[in-house]
Chains A and B, each alone.
Chain A
Amino acid sequence: MVMKYVLRHIPRAPVRSLLSLLLAAALTASLGQFIAIVRSNRALVAEMYDTAEVYASPANRSGVVVTNIPYGAVDLLLSADFSSGFYGESTGQCYWVTPALEDGACVMYATTDPELFGRAAGLTYAEGYDAEVFAASRDNVCFLSEAALENLGLGLGDTVNLSGAEESLRRIYANIYGDAFMEGARFTVIGSFRTGLGDYDVLMPWGTVKRIYGRFYPGAEDGDGTVQTAVQFRVRNDLLRDEHAYRDMPNELLAKSSSQSISTLTLRVFDDEVQNVIKPLEENTDLLELLLPFVGAAVVVVGAAIPGLVILQSSKEAATMRALGTARRRVMTMLVCEQMLLTLTGLALGVFVLLAAHGFEHETAAQLAGAYGYFAACALLSAAVCLAASAFVSSGSALKLLQSKE
């Protein structure tokens, strides 16, 4: 009899039923979308922190990026452990001396990680080498561009002779055919890059460059040599939430240096993306997350109140049922079942619409994980409100109804 009552009532009061159902669906979808936005923003913020490329370069006290960086400063900053590596441009340019490249300028780069910032992209390593081996190396090894290798008829594993003029690396001359016309060192080509640096630029491990500089600049390894220009550190992504760790601590370290050429340096961090994009988005997401319980509670209360109000509107019907001898429990069951069926269908419809709007992506379903708690709360509170409302309308109102004249 209960189901008969419910199945008759729902289609025969189409506007009321549809409103109850659509309202439940709309509230569910809205709350779910709110939660999906919060979760998606949170994931986006985390992803942005993970992938943001934040650079830092030595600067003077006015914040102007400087050149001629003592390489001891580089090592000091590397020891501060705020960076995942660095790229450094040599102070001087290289000059290839092959006939085809006579007077062709290029730059010698030093790095702790050739893949940093995507500077040298499309890397290929010779057998037995990888980024780790490269980073740890102090041997005479280098990367050349694919274009250079092709144009010069070289392959990975070949040896080139790089030598400096006037006992200096300010000008390096490379004799790729092996006959050094000045004293120099032979370098093994352990890798190539497709893009990112100039076609005839040379990329070396930082350890190797230090050793070479040490050779030509006695004492440079102690921090006094001025050997690098345009130094860029890549700030560790896991530190980007902690400005103190990547901005203040390295600066404190520089300031404490006993070398005056280092202690006058500061570290300028180019973290505009973090400050202007990621942090505002994170703050907005924090605010949304803070509001979420209140919005959720409001939705749950409204969602639960509606079926309760509909039941309260059925007070005359409930009273008549009671006057005809329908047991109070049965009256309550009929009223609650009708409204809960609509509410639960609305909830399911809301979730369906929400997932459909997101193309049934697994990610959205996962982001909604937190929403299901609110939906369950809504269902439970609705049930409680319906029970209370049905208990109210099926109680003493039958007597009052009998006395009301219309």
Chain B
Amino acid sequence: MAVISLKNVTYSYKGAAKPAVNSVSCEFEAGTLYAVVGPSGSGKSTLLALLAGLDLPDEGEVLFGGENIAALDLDLYRREYISMIFQAFRLFPLLTALENVCYPLELVGVKSAEAKQRARELLAGVGITEEEMRRFPANLSGGQQQRVSIARALASGAKVILADEPTGNLDVENTRTIIDILASLADEQNYCVIAVTHDAEVADMTDVVYRMKDGVLTRER
């Protein structure tokens, strides 16, 4: 059964001649790593933003567990039902790696000590050492930052991960590491992972590939 799905979703930016997302319908299931590929400006990131509830479609519905997210508290939706990974990592620069991962936990009211313990486990799970956990993002490599970002995404307990070009700023080795982590999350922990990517090699490593062109989404594999 689909965890999250789009039903005839159309979205246009103000003043744009054509819609960025044009009547898109598709379903995303748990335990699957999805890739959304396509050229720049094709509407991939807009699609991801709509899935994340950062904006609502002009037409159609984004359904989470069969319920239109427009009817939900979108802050709660982003806090507890989905989590996001960004190309530029988007870690809080003034928080340590550990505190960055604690943030979503503290946001849902987990006590500080418990949050730290949970964050440590999550960071260790993505290969961040104790010493690295105490560092600020600026003192971590790109690969380390993205792994911290994944740990942060896992912290909230949401089972849907939306990744926008998660390997865009990484070298080949780190790209493989990140994709391996995302794939194992899907395969072993039943996460629904949707990754927007330019990288054909990354797309090859995913279970399902969608192609976005001129706002239209088609299943490629």
Contact = CB atoms under 8 A, between A and B. Distances in A.
A325 B99 CA distance: 16
Interface string B152-188: 1000100000001100110000000000000000000
Interface in A359-406: 396, 398-399, 401-406
Contacts of B94: 8-9, 12-13
B78 A324 contact: yes
B65 to A, nearest CB: 17
Given A8-B99, A402-B45, A324 B84 contact: yes
Given A1-B106, A402-B48, A327 B75 contact: yes
Contact of A405 (B49, B55, B88, B92): B88
A13 B95 CA distance: 11
B9 to A, nearest CB: 15
A128 B38 CA distance: 112
A326 to B, nearest CB: 6
Nearest to B46: A403
Contacts of A406: 87-88, 169
Nearest to B79: A325
B107 A325 contact: yes
Interface in B32-65: 45-46, 48-49, 52, 54-55
B113 interface: no
A399 B107 contact: no
Contact of B107 (A1, A8, A316, A403): A1
Interface range on chain A (Cβ under 8 Å from partner) = 20 to 34
B92 A320 contact: yes
A328 B75 contact: yes
Nearest to A327: B75
Interface string B82-117: 011011101011110001000110110000000000
Among A322, A403, A404, max chain B CB count under 10 A is at A403
B76 interface: yes
Nearest to A9: B94
B88 A323 contact: no
B90 A403 contact: no
Nearest to B40: A405
B186 to A, nearest CB: 21
Contact of B78 (A323, A403, A404): A323
Contacts, number: 73
Given A403-B45, A405-B168, A317 B107 contact: no
Contact of A404 (B88, B92, B95): B88
Interface residues of B, number: 35
Nearest to B44: A403
Nearest to A317: B92
A326 B86 contact: no
A297 to B, nearest CB: 34
A76 to B, nearest CB: 83
A316 B55 contact: no
A328 B78 CA distance: 12
Nearest to B90: A320
Contacts of A1: 106-107
Contact of B49 (A12, A316, A324, A403): A403
Contacts of B207: none
Contact of B79 (A317, A326, A328, A404): A326
Given A317-B93, A399-B55, A325 B165 contact: no
A323 B87 contact: no
Contacts of A405: 87-88, 165, 168
Nearest to B92: A317
Contacts of A326: 75, 79, 107
A323 B52 contact: yes
Among A8, A323, A399, max chain B CB count under 10 A is at A323
A402 B52 contact: yes
B88 A324 contact: no
Contacts of B106: 1, 4
A129 to B, nearest CB: 81
B214 interface: no
A242 to B, nearest CB: 64
A8 B45 CA distance: 32
B132 interface: no
Nearest to B109: A1
A13 B93 CA distance: 10
Interface in B129-157: 136, 152, 156
B49 to A, nearest CB: 5
A316 B93 CA distance: 10
B36 to A, nearest CB: 14
B80 interface: yes
Given A317-B93, A323-B78, A324-B78, A402 B88 contact: no
A320 B85 CA distance: 10
A320 B91 CA distance: 8
Given A403-B46, A405-B168, A325 B88 contact: no
14 contacts: A8-B94, A13-B94, A320-B90, A323-B52, A323-B86, A324-B156, A325-B76, A328-B75, A396-B55, A399-B54, A399-B55, A402-B86, A406-B87, A406-B169
Given A8-B95, A322-B54, A324-B78, 5 more contacts: A327-B75, A399-B49, A401-B90, A402-B48, A402-B84
